[in-house]
Each structure stands twice: as C-alpha cells, then as structure tokens.
Amino acid sequence: MGTELSVRHQASLFALAVVARPVTNRELRGLAGLEIDATVRPGLEAKPALVAVARRGTVNTFTLTPDGKDWCESALSTGRPDGSRFPAGVLYAVLGRVGSYLDRDGVKFDEFFRPDIEDWIRAAYAELTTRRGPGAWVKLAKLRPWLEGVPRNVVDAELDRMIEQPDVQLMAELNQRSLTEADHQAAVDIAGEPRHLLKISQP
C-alpha cells in the first residue's frame, strides 16, 4: 500500500504513529513540520480510512484508525518500496531498523508507539490557551475532554506528578459557588484538597 500514497501521506501517517494520540495541525507543525490539510486529507480518509478526524472546540484533531495502524505496522516490516528515492528512501531505511527491533524483541506496535501523557496534557493546555497564552488558568473540566480514552486515575497521577515541576500549578477555585457539577467531577484530589484549575507557564 505504501506505493499508493504520496511521501506526504506516508509522513503524515508516521507522524501520527509517533504521537499515538489525537493531535491538531498546530501541534503537528511543531512536532513534524507538516499538517494534514485539504490536499492530504482526502487520501487519508478514503476507504479504508487511515486517519480519523474529530472536532474538538474550534479545531480538528487527527489520529490513526485501526487500518492506519495496520498500514504503519506493515510498512515497518515490508521495507523500502521499489523505486522509492530521497526522502522516502531514507525514511524507510530508518523504519526498517525500527521494524527489525520490534520483531527481534517481540515488542508490539502499540507498546512501542505509546502516547506520553504529560505531553498530551501540555498539548491540550496549549490548545485551550491559544488566545490567552501560557500562564492562563484552565478548568480541568475543559481539559479532561481532550484526554478522552485515558483512564482518569492515569491522568490524575500524572497531574499529581507534574505539579512538582516549577512551571505547573494546580489550584482550587476560590469562588466555590461558581463551581458547576462538571467542575466538581473534573477536580483532582491533591493531599485531600480538590483542585479545579491548571496553569502551565511553558506548555
């Protein structure tokens, strides 16, 4: 299937594999120097769709479908497609080494390409503060939907760990009467105190 997709299509798929979670074009540009725009998206959404697109707030997020993961996993083992040249040839040379390592050590694709939860939290915070900038307070009730699919206890443990870093703060809402049921449900318990707000100075 690799020969049916352009180098840009293939690079987009591998970028999503590395991130291993829903990602916006803004983050893709920062991580991989590319974006999934109108020239790339139709080829990735054509049946069988390799990429799933979801609306999150005012932006789209992109993630690999099961077929997309299968394509990437297959590409790791099939090697360089016939006739491929630079830069695709270099890309497949690297991927071939990765595929050989996974096969040799019996490591599954999803075990190797796993999302970094801290990076995910920081990326979600950055999207939520695009207009206000770093250092703005964000409700956890707004943040948690961006982490859909991650067990709550995993997110809570990561937030608890992150507050040890100098640029991360979690605070209880001072105006308790303003809290909604969603705010109460989204709060994370830190040393017996519910915290409702997150601030990251350098997301």
Q: How many domains would you assign to the chain?
A: 2
The model carries a pTM of 0.86
Distances (CA, A) of 34 to 19, 58, 63, 107, 170: 13, 20, 14, 28, 33
Q: Work out the mean pLDDT of the chain and round it to a whole number.
A: 90
pLDDT over 60 at 3, yes or no = no
pLDDT band at 18 (very low <50, low <70, confident <90, very high): very high
* Same domain flag for 89 and 127: no
Domain that holds residue 187: 117-200
pLDDT over 80 at 83, yes or no = no
* Same domain flag for 107 and 126: no
Q: Among residues 16, 9, 116, 24, which one has the least CA distance to residue 61?
A: 24
Q: Residue 30: count other Cβ atoms within 10 Å of its Cβ.
A: 12
* Same domain flag for 88 and 156: no
